[in-house]
Structure 1
Amino acid sequence: MKALVLSGGAGTRLRPITHTSAKQLVPVANKPVLFYGLESIAAAGITEVGLIVGETCDEIRQVVGDGAQFGLKITYIPQDAPRGLAHAVLIARDWLGDDDFVMYLGDNFIIGGIAGLVETFRENRPDAQILLTRVPDPRAFGVAELDGDGRVIGLEEKPDRPKSDLALVGVYLFTPAIHEAVRAIRPSGRGELEITDAIQHLIDTRADVRSTVIKGYWKDTGNVGDMLEVNRTVLESLESRLEGEVDAESEIIGQVVVEAGARVTHSRIIGPAVIGAGTEVRHSYIGAFTSVGEDCQILDSEVEFSIVLRNASIRGVARIEASLIGRHAEVTPAPVVPHAHRLILGDHSKVQIHS
């Protein structure tokens, strides 16, 4: 069995971070989100991975390499533009051959991995197996409709009027039956070959399409809010590790990781939190659910529930929270300027100004 991992999206919802970096490499607890998926695939006993890449191919290749660090053998498959999940299957046809495969969206995060799902698929081997989860607003997802016996009878991509609250999670398992289906469909109104249309083709031709409704934690890390939420979830499982320097005037409370080469002086850190290698934290407060990357500077500042990427600096800022700070970013106080009000008022106006 092989794995097809999609890492070619543009990441528009994470801009401006993704103007200069692949969205799959944005770190969660100081580790690229893509790594969690690759580790899950390796833990499921799969060793051959095809990585669909786009314009950020060089950056992903530099960080991921040949896959040996995960116990994987990775083949890079270029996609000229984001043309849909089914298009990724189409262009990977030669590499996939006649093997069964799991398709994994590289910016998705699933607590507990996929080993159980893969094992069940191998035992039963339906033509397709999809993961579903209940969401409050399914209009932003592919949505499944089930019959009274729980069988999949219909799929829609981002419908205006969803027929259920069951959204497709970004993990799919297929036999080679999917290849005929992706060739049979046409681009959607979005101009993409939708995997939901391909699976619907399997349903219409009476193929065996099964679903599993997961109750565990899943997130599509496509926007800042979800990135911070996933970061929080991962940090909650941290085990404290103080390998860097922490002076006697500093206070460490809860689950905190201070990587080797980091220095914490005259500061207070409330876990769960992680401080990357080479980072300096001085006269500052780092609050819960914060990950600070490598070689950062946090000086005379307060940061909480945030992700700070490597080489960023925050100096003299009273409070930062629920934020994503990019690589080499600099955050400093604004210069003090006189406050003034400019008014153009009509006759008989009444104005209250809070000074």
Structure 2
Amino acid sequence: MAHAVDPARTDAVILVGGQGTRLRPLTLSAPKPMLPTAGLPFLTHLLSRIADAGITHVVLGTSYKAGVFEDEFGDGSALGLDIEYVFEEEARGTGGGIANVAPKLRYDTALVFNGDVLSGADLGALLASHHEREADLTLHLVRVGDPRAFGCVPTDPDGGVTAFLEKTQDPPTDQINAGCYVFNRAVIDRIPTGRAVSVEREVFPALLADGLKVCGYVDATYWRDMGTPDDFVRGSADLVRGIAPSPALKGHRGEELVHEGASVAPGALLIGGTVVGRGAEIGPGARLDGAVIFDGARIEAGAVIERSIIGFGARIGPRALIRDGVIGDGANIGARCELLRGARVWPGVTIPDGGIRYSTDV
């Protein structure tokens, strides 16, 4: 018989990996899980959801800048958590990362998260599903409109996982791995140690081959992989507007989030879930739509920023247009420049007034 769910007797494991994101090296001030997202380190939103679910013990495993995480979150008490840290000398994949943190686990069940996913899954319901089905492993699965860009995970009518399939142009299901798993401790103990291990290609298929019970928990809640600049901008905007849930934002919902110490001049328009970081300056007549403005950036009069990231301390000159772009830390974009979709400006680069345009006229 399945035992009662006690979130306080469940470990949470967060794997934050290295610096593998297309945001780098354009913004260098922090590892991606620490970049301000709706004004808070991205990982804060996940940690707040873990605490809200009643889970208290968290193990954070990383192979990159481990000290940055401990400096920010300490022992976790400020979030109502007990956080421990485990460092890998080299990245060993999701499976190797899970095996690496195993000595820190306290309980028979562990909820494992990929640290670069923004999700609204009900963690309590996920845990309950795992225990009610008496599963050895449960995967959070989400349905996407175009599963061709992902590996897919078909399930039988009872929710049992039947296969783990690579990317294909004709996927048999729209269900994909959402990067969140419930492991029984005995399954974690099966994972090889001391080397790189892929859960998708090695661990999960082996469990099916050995007859263990692997289940899928499918829901339609919010989900976004934050691995690209476009997803990072959209995820931040969704948090500000309340589309993506985060207890850390304490109910904030609106078209903009302006942090303490920022200044917004009269006549500036902030819409679309725009975030303005601490110490940033927004000039008169500027229009920001779904923009992420990091701390200390300066947006001059009449500039237009749409669905773009403006790095720490960067300057955007008067009447410049940045659309679907990323401007690196400390870059200086001159007046009347136009940088459109896909534009990337490296940290510290200066573009003179009128120095670049995208236009069909002269």
With the shorter chain as reference, the TM-score category is 0.7 to 0.9
How big is the shift at 1:310?
A: 3.5
Name which of 231, 236, 241 aligns with 1:231.
236
Corresponding residue for 1:332?
334
2:17 is matched with: 8
Instruction: Determine helix, strand or coil for the equivalent of 2:163.
Output: strand
1:296-318 Cα deviation digits (max 9, x unpaired): 22112222222334333222242
Within-5 A mapping of 1:79-98: 79-98=88-107
Name 2:294's counterpart in structure 1: 293
Alignment-mate amino acid for residue 73 of structure 1: D
Give the TM-score of the pair, scaled to structure 1: 0.80
Q: Which residue of structure 1 aligns with residue 156 of structure 2?
A: 147
The CA distance in 2 between the partners of 1:282 and 1:338, in whole Å, is 21
SS at match of 1:55: coil
How far apart are 1:29 and its partner, in Å?
A: 1.6
Q: Distance in 2 between matches of 1:268 and 1:114?
A: 40
Deviations 1:41-93 (A, max 9, x none): 11111111111111221222222322222211111111122221110121112
Return closer, same or farther for 1:9/1:141 CA change in 2, 3 Å cut-off.
farther
1:110 maps to a residue whose letter is S
What's the counterpart of residue 200 of structure 1? 205
Offset at 1:170?
0.8
Indicate the RMSD between aligned Cα atoms, in angstroms.
2.9
Residue range with higher mean Cα deviation, 88-97 or 13-22: 13-22
Aligned counterpart, 2:340 = none
Verify: 1:306 aligned to 2:308, yes or no.
yes
List gaps (5 residues or longer) in structure 2: 1-9, 244-253, 336-350
2:116 to 99, 102, 107: 107
Alignment of 1:243-258 (within 5 A): 255-258=255-258
| 8 Å Cα contact 1:11-1:22 kept in structure 2 | no
Alignment of 1:68 with 2:68, yes or no, is no
Rounded to whole Å, the distance in 2 between the matches of 1:72 and 1:338 is 50
Q: Alpha-carbon deviations, 1:223-259, whole Å to 9, x = none?
A: 1121122122112229xxxxxxxxxxxxxxx733333
Question: 1: CA distance between counterparts of 2:354 and 2:304?
Answer: 23
User: What is the CA distance between 1:110 and its match in structure 2?
Assistant: 0.6
Partner of 1:246: none
Deviation at 1:97, TM superposition (A): 4.8
TM-score, reference length from structure 2: 0.79
Q: How many residues align?
A: 322
Contact 2:268 / 2:283 at 8 angstroms: preserved in 1? no
**Is the CA contact 1:30–1:276 (under 8 Å) kept in the aligned structure 2?**
yes
Which residue is 1:261 aligned to?
261
Give the 3 Å change call, closer, same or farther, for CA 138–71 of structure 1 in structure 2.
Answer: same
2: CA distance between counterparts of 1:51 and 1:64? 11
Q: Assess if the C-alpha contact under 8 Å between 1:126 and 1:210 holds in 2.
A: yes
Structure 2 residue 270 is the aligned partner of structure 1 residue 270: yes
Contact 1:102-1:172 at 8 Å conserved across structures: yes
Query: Residue 35 of structure 2 is aligned with which of 19, 26, 33?
Result: 26
Counterparts of 1:307 and 1:13, CA distance in 2: 12
Q: What is the identity, as a one-letter code, of the residue corresponding to 2:176? A: A
1:121 Cα deviation after fit: 3.0
Give the % identical residues. 28
Instruction: Flag the 1:127–1:110 CA change in 2: closer, same or farther, 3 A.
Output: same
Distance in 1 (alpha carbons) for counterparts of 2:156 and 2:286: 53
Answer yes or no: is the 8 Å Cα contact 1:8–1:79 preserved in 2. Answer: no
2:11 touches 2:106 (CA, 8 Å); kept in 1? no
What code does the residue aligned with 1:325 have? I
Which shows bigger deviation, 318-327 or 101-110? 318-327
1:270 shift after superposition: 3.2
**Is contact 1:181–1:199 with CA below 8 Å preserved after alignment?**
no
